[in-house]
Structure 1
Amino acid sequence: MQVGNGPDLDGAPWWWDAVCYQVDVGAFADVDGDGVGDLEGLRARLGYVELLGVDAVVLAGVAGGDPNSTELADLLAEARGAGLRVLLALDVDPARTDPGPVLRPWLDAGLDGFHLAPRNDPNDAVAAVLADYPDRVVIGSGTGNWHLLFGLDLAVAGFSAGPVQNAIDAVLGGEGPRPAWAMASRDTSRIRDHAALTPVRAMALVQLALPGAVCLRHGEELGLPGTERIRMPWEGDRSPFGFSTAQGDWPSIPDDWVEFTVEAQLEDPDSTLSLYRHALEIRSTHPAFVGESVEWFGAPEDCFAFRRTGSSLICALNTSAEPVPLPPGELLLSSRPVAGGALPPGTAAWLA
């Protein structure tokens, strides 16, 4: 069964398969020591974002700021030097008569587009503004003339192969903008151990194997919860793990996150961060990651396998309680160790 719209496109725009990394600026990195993250903090950590391997940074929590500020100009310049696009998460109602006064100052400042809060755009007012700014992108939700349609369909489906397959079919089989897959609403309010990350790691590979763009939220690549503002744990062995130099208690950064800091995970080849980095590298360089639709193979109960049409990429997922045979092909990556030609429970794998 084949699901999806449209042929492969040569010369597709930069956002076509982009991986966008949303940074809640106030919770990412604090440079001035006031306990709140800032643009300078993000700029100081931009090397990490580049190392992660994403294509664009989405700034959240700065929409009330100054689009002409020196801090933003410096950030944009450094991001461009690193090959990163920069978008703004914006809570603007695009159905108003003219959103231009809100959007244009940011576009004139050099922003590459917007991630709009869920709204409807029956009059395509945003599209009219963006028409004057080539190569910019709008990620939107609901009904609208967006470039990319932000969707939490995979997150809502949970960790069960049947509902996940149905969610993929519904998105790729529908009409409308190109999908931007997101998983940031996972119900993981507190990570206690690495075993709890089994479904998180598996679904990351499913998400990154699908045609379309991807929206990550900072901390997601560390296996941290995505349902609230998470202060980024960078390094060290106690709170706030390098997020800020401010002294005091940090109840929002539990001490048991010591194994989930960027520092700890960069040094661990089996960490969730290492899995994301490896997956993003393969996704951006391997020739199998083409094709605008998927076709499904027969699979055991509570499992699935799909192939990107026009390519050799296969993604297999096992949400059952038993190991199942791997599809034929060269193993590119798996969310958990694979041995003996079997896909373990709670595991996803890429093959070519």
Structure 2
Amino acid sequence: MPRTRIQQNTTVPWWRTAVIYQVYIRSFADGNGDGIGDIAGLRARLPYLRELGVDAVWITPWYPSPMADGGYDVTDYRAIDPVFGTLAEGEEMIAEAHALGVRVVLDIVPNHTSNRHPWFAEALSAAPGSPERERYHFRDGRGPDGSRPPNDWRSRFGGSAWTRVTEPDGTPGQWYLHLFSPEQPDLNWASREVRSEFESILRFWYDRGVDGFRIDVASGLVKDPALPDIGIPEDAVFEEGPWKDGHPHWNQEGLHEIYQSWRKIAESYAGDRVFCAEANSRDDQMARYLGPGELHTAFNFAFLRSPWEFKSIREIVDRSVGSLAEVGAPATWVLSNHDVTRHVTRYGRRDTTHDLYRSDNGHADRDLGTRRARAAALLMLALPGSSYLYQGEELGLWEVEDLPDEALQDPLWGRSGHRVRGRDGCRVPMPWSGSESPFGFARRGSEPPWLPQPAEWEKFSAQFQSGTPGSMLELYRSALRLRSEQPGFDSGKLSWLDAPEGVLWFERSPVLRCAVNFSEEPFPLPRTWGVLLSSDRITGGQLPTDTTVWLWGGGASRV
């Protein structure tokens, strides 16, 4: 059973080997019956997270927001949106989580605010060149009448990354930058005022017991002040590579000074406070964020984007572990999150690469995807470093791809001209219990969930799977229990063992091994080693295709 209070380890910081569970708060649990997840629902489900065995919970933005982009358009970073609850409820939730041995990580959104943030309202009322406009990126347009955007940058949600404002006197005026939706104007991190504000925001939440932050758009805060054209065609925005050298708004050198100052703030608090960067970067670029005195961890998006293919995953594991070891940082593995197609669906397709921006995703074999998802979970949890779980993956939930058009709320849908359906399919509210919607997400008689749930989720609810041998939920519970108890999982070492082509076969310690079979032929397991856990049935000592096994041996006793 997991610990029931936060305990400090003076030798190994908790975040180096943690399993962190992502809560997309709108879709986790509804405590007041309005159809939207909230803090009351999360508090009621904290014992579930403790029983699952996670070390921490990461909560997506709960700040006041017009919800143009699911809460990533913030109007007040020191408060909680009334739809989710109150600041007092948030503080009580943090204390309750800590009492159960679960740490709390919040989202911080430093690249942009909402266009309804007081700062942006002040900027719109102020004159060009004013201090109020210096907090954002306001520029004159091109052409004799300024009617063309300042450069060719494209929004990640489609269309131009610039929107023209109407000046206080009613005339067409300057343009402002938004790498995402027009409702999310980018902040200017060359401004000392912006930097001081976010340093204060970090302290505000650390003072309330938060254990760390996931940094949204961590690689995009600093822009080349020249704002040069990039030269990307309009229809290639979704394929634009933010990892290439010299990109004017990704991975700029000035980021490191910012994160060095943030690290000093984290280290001024007791208890191993942590940062995790959402940085779409190459391995060598990512390692730079994690050098001494900067951030602690960064998501491994190469692992998430990889197809279910032996050579690709082997290469990514080698690169990730090797490059991060050079700067003393742990790898941070992830299979799904609120921005990508759930991996049960991805792994069930002929092309298993990350496919959020495709307009035609093709048929997914759910049984095949589930088999591979079970194998991928045990692979990820066997690798050295920390792991992030996305709510519902422990239930085997898939991408809901048949949501009615009128239900879609992701700005990707509108900004792409209804070409890209967006991320709503991975954000459908959780099924907890019962035989029909809302499946325990809210009490019966409440408002319908904000996105409709599939009827098939009756047999994928937490209640249905709990205690059921072989269920996805019990696989995750067993894996997390063994990971916390079995010697070897806390080691940062990984040694490859000889195996046929198509089999990942590695050792974490002299008593702990893992094998993953990507090949079409069964892999014979060593008879002197015992099975700790397998993602699927093993018969005759042969590891089937698309299956992972954890083995123990070497003369040691099993815990």
TM-score (norm 2): 0.58
User: Which residue is equivalent to 2:38?
Assistant: 38
Residues 172, 293 of structure 1: 8 Å contact kept: no
Q: Which has the higher contact order (CA 8 A, sep 6+)?
A: 1
- Residue 97 of structure 1 aligns with an amino acid whose one-letter code is R
2:201 pairs with 102, 105, 108, which one? 102
Rounded to whole Å, the distance in 1 between the matches of 2:264 and 2:103 is 22
Rounded to whole Å, the distance in 1 between the matches of 2:296 and 2:448 is 44
Deviation track 1:217-246 (CA, whole Å, cap 9, x = no partner) reads 111111114763131100011111010232
Report SS of the residue matched to 1:257: helix
User: Which residue is equivalent to 1:255?
Assistant: 455
CA, structure 1 residues 262+63, in 2 after alignment: closer, same or farther (shift >3 Å)? same
For the pair 1:128 / 2:264, whether they are aligned, the reply is yes
CA, structure 1 residues 51+86, in 2 after alignment: closer, same or farther (shift >3 Å)? same
Report SS of the residue matched to 2:31: coil
For the pair 1:241 / 2:439, whether they are aligned, the reply is yes
Report SS of the residue matched to 1:174: helix
1:313 pairs with 512, 527, 530, which one? 512
**Bigger mean CA offset, 253-262 vs 184-193:** 184-193
Larger Rg: 2
Query: Cα offset for 1:313?
Result: 1.3
Unaligned runs of 5+ in 2: 1-8, 65-77, 81-85, 112-186, 220-254, 280-285, 347-363, 400-422, 553-559
1:223 pairs with 389, 393, 396, which one? 396
User: Which residue is equivalent to 2:217?
Assistant: 118
Rounded to whole Å, the distance in 1 between the matches of 2:206 and 2:450 is 36
Query: Cα offset for 1:249?
Result: 7.4
For the pair 1:138 / 2:275, whether they are aligned, the reply is yes
Rounded to whole Å, the distance in 2 between the matches of 1:187 and 1:101 is 37
User: Which residue is equivalent to 2:474?
Assistant: 274
1:323 pairs with 516, 522, 547, which one? 522
Residues 206, 269 of structure 2: 8 Å contact kept: yes
Rounded to whole Å, the distance in 2 between the matches of 1:158 and 1:102 is 38
For the pair 1:197 / 2:370, whether they are aligned, the reply is yes
Query: Cα offset for 1:304?
Result: 1.5
Query: Cα offset for 1:179?
Result: 1.5
Residues 63, 90 of structure 1: 8 Å contact kept: no
2:296 pairs with 147, 152, 156, which one? 147
Deviation track 1:231-277 (CA, whole Å, cap 9, x = no partner) reads 11000111110102324477631001111100111131111110000
Report SS of the residue matched to 2:397: coil
1:66 pairs with 73, 79, 82, which one? 79
Residues 36, 450 of structure 2: 8 Å contact kept: no
Deviation track 1:287-306 (CA, whole Å, cap 9, x = no partner) reads 13232121111212211101
Deviation track 1:171-209 (CA, whole Å, cap 9, x = no partner) reads 001034321111114444598854430110001011000
Give % identity: 37
Report SS of the residue matched to 1:153: helix
**Bigger mean CA offset, 162-171 vs 86-95:** 86-95
Residues 21, 56 of structure 2: 8 Å contact kept: yes
Residues 162, 303 of structure 1: 8 Å contact kept: no
Rounded to whole Å, the distance in 2 between the matches of 1:69 and 1:336 is 44
User: Which residue is equivalent to 1:290?
Assistant: 490
**Bigger mean CA offset, 260-269 vs 123-132:** 123-132
Residues 241, 261 of structure 1: 8 Å contact kept: yes
1:300 pairs with 500, 504, 528, which one? 500
- Residue 139 of structure 1 aligns with an amino acid whose one-letter code is C
1:207 pairs with 374, 380, 392, which one? 380
Residues 20, 55 of structure 1: 8 Å contact kept: yes
Rounded to whole Å, the distance in 1 between the matches of 2:452 and 2:510 is 44
Rounded to whole Å, the distance in 2 between the matches of 1:10 and 1:249 is 44
